[in-house]
Structure 1
Amino acid sequence: MRLRSLEGRLTVLLAAASLSGALVYVGVTHYPLPQLLGWMHDSLGISIAFPNRSDAVIICAAILVPLSWWFAHIVMEPVKRLLRALEGAVASYRDGDFSISIALHRRDELGDLIRVHNELGQTLREQRQNLAQRELLLDTVVQNTPVALVLTDGNGRVAYANIAARHLFNEGRSLNGLHFATLIADAPEALQKATEGSEDALFSVEMDGSEETFHLSQRAFRLQGRPHRLQLYRRMTRELSRQEVAAWKRVIRVVSHELNNSLAPISSLAHSGAELARRGDIQRLPGVFATIGERARHLHGFIDGYARFAKLPAPRHAVVEWRPFLDGLALHCRFQLVGAMPAQAGWFDLAQIEQVLINLVKNAHESGSAPEGVSLALTQVGHELRIEVGDRGPGMSEAVLAQALLPFYSTKRSGTGLGLALAREISEAHGGRIALANREDGGLRVTMVLPQPTNPG
């Protein structure tokens, strides 16, 4: 037990109080009070009756009660001062003021509490300073970003808007507190429809005599327990223009490469055919013409593939029974059906999905997979149809996986880069999606997910 601890100090004070009580009782009953009364009687003639036991108790109480109060004051005064200081500090913390420190120096448990409290205040001050710096940095970034940011509360009023949003919607004036729906009441219809929806959207509006394309990203969440909605309006015209130019450049490179690969042999063979005809060597002419026809057919197929990709019609949904569909698919490509067929009939464009699966199964065979390793699985998951085509080839690297679905991207020398892009285009036209992933036990898995109605047809 430490002497300077509260427990040690209280023990010393209790011992002192006990000793004081004993000394007072002895002084009243034995010495010196009885001797003092006797001296006063003998010397001064003052007769005072010797106190009995009850009087002695009263005299002891009269002396010990103030003494006890003084001891209690000694014990409790530091605690009371500390509690008052802690009360003021907590009130300051509640008001967001962390600058309060307690200037009491003790070497007991109260001193340890004061030290920990002051360390807490220092930590809170540092954290608040760091938080203020981060908030300042975040506000600077948000305010100066070219993306227009609008935060609305549950009533649709603007709680926060950056500089880009103020210029986009209110000619540079503040938007805080304004009702956002009223603010855009006179805005173009495309912007209003995109804002009224709950999904991300891409829309174009007429601005300053030209068409401007925006991408709207919006999310709903709760802030301090209240519903809020964050909307981000990003100008996409310049980016889309760059992407469009880049896409056209890729198209031109691919088309030019393919045309050169076909027209150069055709030109050479035509020259050879003319030379053979001039010499009268007509026996070799049929072979020359056959090769020219083969290259022409290849070129026609190449151009036709691009035309079909560019003129993909909207899907015509219909009820598709699985057994006839799979039997027809098996006439065009070989695959192993994994698992049972869904109990519910499919709902999609039969011709388009069949073409996608033919291309996917063909790619699986061309990956180097064994024929029996090419599989097809059909699974109904809730209101979605999951179609998976797998193989046991080498799979794809991360770089190839990231670009495989882009138009005109191909790792094959003779590939056009349209097979997987066409599959993606068809799946998204159905309202679905397509994804590629390497299988854990080797090979590639292509997963196409198509939404399905509750009752097809």
Structure 2
Amino acid sequence: MKLPGISIAQKLLLAMALTLAIVSVPVLFLFDWQTWLSGLSLAILVGAVILKLLTRNLFAGLQALESGLLNFKDSDFSTLLAYQNDDELGRLCQLYNQAAAQLRDEKQWIYQRELMLDKVLHSAPQALLLTDAQGIVVFSNHSAKALLNCEHNLEGMKLDKLAQQASPALHSALSEAVDGLFELHPEGADKQTWHLSNGELLLNNQFHRLYIFKQLTRELNRQEVAVWKKVIRIISHELNNSLGPISSMLHSGKILANKLEEARLERVFSTIDERISHLTEFVQGYGKFAKLPAPKLNPVCLSQLLSRLQSHWQFQCTQTGALPQSRQLLADAAQLEQLLINLLKNAHESGSDPDGVGIEVDFADQHALLRVVDAGQGMSEHIMANALIPFYSTKSTGTGLGLALCREIVEAHHGQIHLKNRPQGGLCVEVRLPLSAL
């Protein structure tokens, strides 16, 4: 029979009382019922005392076990049971202590993994957004906040509301929730190409949607430059194979022309020789771009490098801020010098007054910022959009490799290069290079 609401101690006491009453029924025929009732009461009282003494440790252990399981329910695994008797309850308490120790270790391990995962997700270059079934953001990393141009946390906000505040292209990508590419045009920055991938996942028995935004601008630029380099290597190889025999035949032709003493032939051969030299120099320039070696990174002192450049080029040099004590600029000094020479050469060829050419240096916690400025005519939007592409040039004698080589050097140093017109006139080429910890 099930007796709800009655404790084990009460059940044992009731069972003992019923047993004593049944056993003492024959005694009722020897004594009157009052005597029998008094004796039965005394027996039950003595039995209750003995039962309490015998079960005292048992119930103390059960209460401790109950408290421990309540702690388990609250995810607290730090409590251990002190009951150590060699009986069934003691073995049960021992199993409880072992389970508590194992769960405590696993909880600590999971906590460390969650910390590591949280750090990895927040420092990931991909922008991550996780929303629940109602479209409310439950997780976002720092890249997602930067992408949506929000300084506050995104958790708890509706994704639809965030999408309405975003750019049209980003709003369309979030609204359609279809995997694919889209482009952003940040104000005062180059065009950016992004890829969105999203999908549903089951988390805590509830459906969530994960959005992953990956910026492909640098990767696409890298692939584009790789294709250009391959084309350049092929063209250079074929031109070099042709220029060698032509130069040899030209030399033989000059010898024959000298014997004939024909002035017109000498002029023809001189012109051909001049064009061959120009073409050879042209091919060597392209080969230098196509075979740019990986930078050898060493600490670089910008002030010394700029002083060395000022002995060959005229420009004003200004510096804002100082290099942080715990940071240093690691770069290939030769490539960095070539980068600045190319930019200074373009600045002086822009029609700017030499006094209007300058290099501005600024330091932040994570990067060094170099701005090469001039007072020329600047660039149109069309020219600026194509200026960093190989072979593109607006100069009649240009090769279209100066700024392309600059971009290649900057990106090889994991930096960024950006062109923009100055409000007061002229062009500003902004180079951002990362600083490394000492």
- TM-score interval w.r.t. the shorter chain? 0.3 to 0.5
Provide TM-score, normalisation by structure 2.
0.46
